[in-house]
Structure 1
């Protein structure tokens, strides 16, 4: 909204790719070989290099490899060292859509330009939720995440028309529960959930969380690999799922902090210095 399309893209790419490159390098040449060595599974450096190079495409369909053969044999998902990476490609598609629309059109027209595909896509997914669709959708079907992204964009663009009162927060919470109970999450959850999360943050004492070190991206890209390392050690069969999830979170938090502090923040600092040396962040 406040920058050119070129500046927007430069900032987005620097936000995504430095952390991504560090993550897939860590998975390929640290996590995978160490876990294979500890458990006796197979690890081939050539396969790891292919995994690394292919995932520089940000999980592009038909390009990115999901796993390193043999390194996760016997696990519930032996073919994926970093399952969520496929969504990064579609996130870039979303940035292309929203960035182009906002860069070309005035805000009033941009609202409509993003609202129309959101409504059409939601209507189509609703037919599938109701069982009227001709085919079942695969788990990595991109339309539902695209609708979620558009919902966030629309919530921002229509923020002057969306109430953030406690009544509105309560209504959205009820709506989210009702939609979940009705089994219509893929088609109808996006706007109510987005408004609920954003509006409720005004009332919860969480404003300082992530204000200096935003580890959300690190949790996103390292969460699955950390869980696969734990699973390769057999933890998933030794403890209840909730305990496994808690341990995974506790271990991924410091990894995500390291990514934020020593990879993501320096990359964004370089961008700010490139634009204006006076705006460079001071990293304590």
Structure 2
């Protein structure tokens, strides 16, 4: 958001980061589906096969299963259960885009994020039972529970936590971990979670670790690829080999990492190079110009 020229530019970048790799994994799922398909209905005549890609590209109408695929697995109702977070992720993109209108005033941005964080923290920690009774038509109470961490992370980014010197990052991490461990078993544990966990996670990410800190410079950013390929890889391994937990963890991680490597270099990185095309920003400006002239 801070590096975007306008909202259309911001959304175009988010679309390029999210959808090309997602579209490919959905297509591969449908193409490779017959190898793990067990159903009396012929594969191509199964309506769920035809709706799987468009429903999941819509993100707010996710379709987790195709009847006949992984029906005998422990998680028989999901081909790629990890995708459940994508609607929340995109919703957070929409939320943070609202800061665009005040992004030139850093103090105001920090204030807005602080208010959002405090409000969400109150709902999540002190009104948890009531939230579970709410009936969202599009999203559910996870929007609150996940939103508080997104707001906390955004606030830490706004205060430029990454600019803190390496030695102080280590000190901050140790203090936060100590306080979090101390809170275990106490009534204020939930409050410690929404307060300290974001600091702990980001400090771990910023902590310089030899051999790991610069790994993305050499192999690329595998995070999204591992995320979208991990679940179907695990389901497939369970379907064919019925692996134990430890074997499944390590085998699926290696296979998912290889697929993520290919995804980054063949799909994600090339897609991000299309940022300069800016079809959405151009369309946005043309529509805005027509409105202003009228």
- TM-score normalised by the chain length of structure 2: 0.79
- 1:86-97 to structure 2, matched below 5 A, reads 86-97=84-95
Determine which structure has more spread, i.e. the larger CA radius of gyration: 2
CA spacing shift, 1:34–1:98, aligned 2, 3 Å? same
Inter-partner Cα distance in structure 1 for 2:68 and 2:87: 26
Give 1:9 shift: 1.2
Give 1:19 shift: 0.6
Corresponding residue number in structure 2 for 1:71: 69
CA spacing shift, 1:69–1:264, aligned 2, 3 Å? same
- 1:1-284 to structure 2, matched below 5 A, reads 1-4=2-5, 5-30=7-32, 32-36=33-37, 40=38, 44-45=43-44, 46-58=47-59, 60=60, 63-105=61-103, 106-127=105-126, 133=130, 135=132, 141-159=142-160, 164-179=168-183, 181-182=185-186, 188-200=192-204, 201-205=206-210, 206-212=212-218, 213-236=220-243, 239=244, 241-272=245-276, 274=277
CA spacing shift, 1:159–1:179, aligned 2, 3 Å? farther
- How big is each residue's C-alpha offset from its partner over 1:78-123, in whole Å with a ceiling of 9 and x where there is no partner? 1111112121111111111112213434221111112212111111
Q: Which runs of 5+ in 2 are unaligned?
A: 279-294
Whether the 8 Å contact between 1:118 and 1:147 is mirrored in structure 2 is yes
- TM-score normalised by the chain length of structure 1: 0.81
CA RMSD of aligned residues (A): 2.8
Give the number of the structure with larger relative contact order, counting CA–CA contacts within 8 Å between residues 6 or more apart: 2
Whether the 8 Å contact between 1:72 and 1:232 is mirrored in structure 2 is yes
How many corresponding residue pairs? 262
Whether the 8 Å contact between 1:176 and 1:192 is mirrored in structure 2 is yes
Whether the 8 Å contact between 2:65 and 2:78 is mirrored in structure 1 is yes
